Structure 1
Amino acid sequence: MRHSLPIAPQFYVTAPQPCPYLPGRMERKLFTALQGDGAQKLNDSLSRQGFRRSQNVLYRPSCSDCAACLSARIDVRRFTASRSQRRTLKKNAHLTRRATSPWATEDQYDLFRRYLDARHADGGMADMDVFEFAAMVEETPIRSRVIEYVDSTTDLLSAVCLTDMLEDGLSMVYSFYEPGLQKSSLGTWMILDHIEIAREAGLPYVYLGYWVPGSDKMGYKAQFDAVEIYRGGQWQPLDVTDDFEAESHPLSTDPIAEQVANISFPDTRA
């Protein structure tokens, strides 16, 4: 008997584990597999609803006692670089952008290891070997690119971003850079360059992942102009003066069944 994949995505919840952003809290994720002919449409649709991609999985935080992780994106049409960001652009003018297919290389992995060892030695990705790195880059069922940034004066690889191409923008899945160049603000510069790529392609948004009020690790995202956050089931401009205390309240998360029931799915029929 021939079996086919279910039409509606099946959702699951991860086991709780320590939150990497807010001390003393536990994180949990709602996730579904990203596969089949409708993978691109599903990724487009769920990205607009606060989900993120990791290899062939789409996930969204669904913590039992907190909803502080808010998906963030930049409205490219409204964005204006600040004075310090313009200085960052000028400082890195010697870097050359090179977009390639999602294929891992030894140079990328060597840079990835230096970045982790210097900045995230105790993080969840600290033990990734070359095969796991290759899987992170190459296992993608949708349109993805590896954006490499090379020093035009030395031809050395300085920064890398794994980027998904969405219907309405670019999603920066994961980026890393030479830790010895920290003063060059390469993390900020890659976001600025992705804004430029989106403008060149006529795409309205650059998706940044999650912004977490109260987390120093995620605070830099609020420094960009025209940032929007997915809050209460809709996108709205980020105002850092807003009261986000409710998102950290134990009763802030809807039951899993209600969360899934409120997800909109694309029509994947041809």
Structure 2
Amino acid sequence: MTRSRVTLLRTDCHECAYVSGRTARLEFLSPQLALDDRRYQLLLEQGFRRSGPYIYRPRCPGCAACQSLRIPVARFRARRRHRRCRRDNADLHVTACPPVLTDEQLALYRRYIDHRHPHSSMADPDRAEAEGFLTAPWCTTVFYELRSTERGPLLGVAVTDVLPGALSAVYTFYAPEAEHRGLGNLAVLWQLSEARRLDAQHVYLGYWIADAPTMAYKATFRPHEVFDGRRWLAGA
């Protein structure tokens, strides 16, 4: 896939959801482009990401704060906070499920969205909206369920793309009352363990902005690499 064969479409400028006072704009690949797991991994390596079946990257005027962040699996070393997170959640069971929302998963997704993003365009999603955001027909995606016992209540779901040489963290949602467990961090730790088992080289965590508090947890996974628009560099 060469750049000359790819059509890029741009959205209108809009207010940035992460940095106050800045203007955002996204660049999308043409929906007509044929995609599969291998091609998507190549696009991840070039700083793209998917939302549902749509592939995009930030192209904001006068700003390059959004950077793709990935973790080299073989070199990752858990910090004290990560070891504590694992210890505090040692009772949880993880089950790999196909990427089709069950009624239980959808109810949990709605509760999470309504708790975290009550006034956003994501609020009160129906099944089609949720699956349209979380899955893509051309991509191998797994829903990793987190439960307190093997058949206990559903506490969280880590939506993950499983690619030939990498895992990509798509989205994690969990029960609001279980927020103290740090299930977002636990999901990344699980994805790293799964990537190691699958002999994958990287886990992609999406975009990271150094000044955005909600994204700060991504940089705690070290070592990590960020994409500057041309190449991957070691993170601070």
What TM-score comes out, normalization by structure 2 length?
0.92
- Are the aligned partners of 1:34 and 1:141 in contact in 2 as well (CA < 8 Å)? no
Q: 1:22 to 1:37 in 2, by over 3 A?
A: closer
1:51 aligns with 2:52: no
Q: CA deviation at 1:128?
A: 2.3
Instruction: Note the alpha carbon deviations across 1:231-262, whole angstroms, 9 max, x for none.
Output: 141111111xxxxxxxxxxxxxxxxxxxxxxx
Q: Which residue of structure 2 aligns with residue 29 of structure 1?
A: 26
Q: Which residue of structure 1 aligns with residue 205 of structure 2?
A: 208
Q: 1:215 to 1:138 in 2, by over 3 A?
A: closer
1:100 aligns with 2:78: no
Instruction: Note the alpha carbon deviations across 1:37-96, whole angstroms, 9 max, x for none.
Output: 543332111100111011211100001121100000111111111112101101111111
1:116 aligns with 2:113: yes
Q: 1:167 to 1:34 in 2, by over 3 A?
A: farther
Q: Which residue of structure 2 aligns with residue 167 of structure 1?
A: 164
Residue 108 of structure 1 aligns to a residue whose secondary structure is: helix
Distance 2:34 2:54 in 1: 15
Q: CA deviation at 1:161?
A: 1.6
Distance 2:126 2:53 in 1: 19
Candidates 132, 135, 138, aligned match of 1:135? 132
1:190 aligns with 2:202: no
- Are the aligned partners of 2:159 and 2:169 in contact in 1 as well (CA < 8 Å)? yes
- Are the aligned partners of 1:94 and 1:151 in contact in 2 as well (CA < 8 Å)? yes
Q: 1:167 to 1:36 in 2, by over 3 A?
A: same
- Are the aligned partners of 2:158 and 2:172 in contact in 1 as well (CA < 8 Å)? yes
- Are the aligned partners of 2:101 and 2:131 in contact in 1 as well (CA < 8 Å)? yes
Q: Tell me, which stretches of 5 or more residues in structure 1 are unaligned?
A: 1-6, 240-270
Q: CA deviation at 1:149?
A: 1.2
- Are the aligned partners of 2:110 and 2:124 in contact in 1 as well (CA < 8 Å)? no
Could you say which structure has the larger radius of gyration? 1
Residue 113 of structure 2 aligns to a residue whose secondary structure is: helix
Kindly provide the amino acid, as one letter, of the partner of residue 26 in structure 2: K
RMSD: 1.8
Residue 233 of structure 1 aligns to a residue whose secondary structure is: coil
Residue 24 of structure 1 aligns to a residue whose secondary structure is: coil
Candidates 56, 64, 69, aligned match of 1:67? 64
Q: CA deviation at 1:183?
A: 1.1
Q: CA deviation at 1:35?
A: 5.8
Q: 1:207 to 1:138 in 2, by over 3 A?
A: closer
Distance 1:36 1:101 in 2: 25
Distance 2:89 2:50 in 1: 29
Residue 152 of structure 1 aligns to a residue whose secondary structure is: coil
- Are the aligned partners of 1:34 and 1:42 in contact in 2 as well (CA < 8 Å)? no
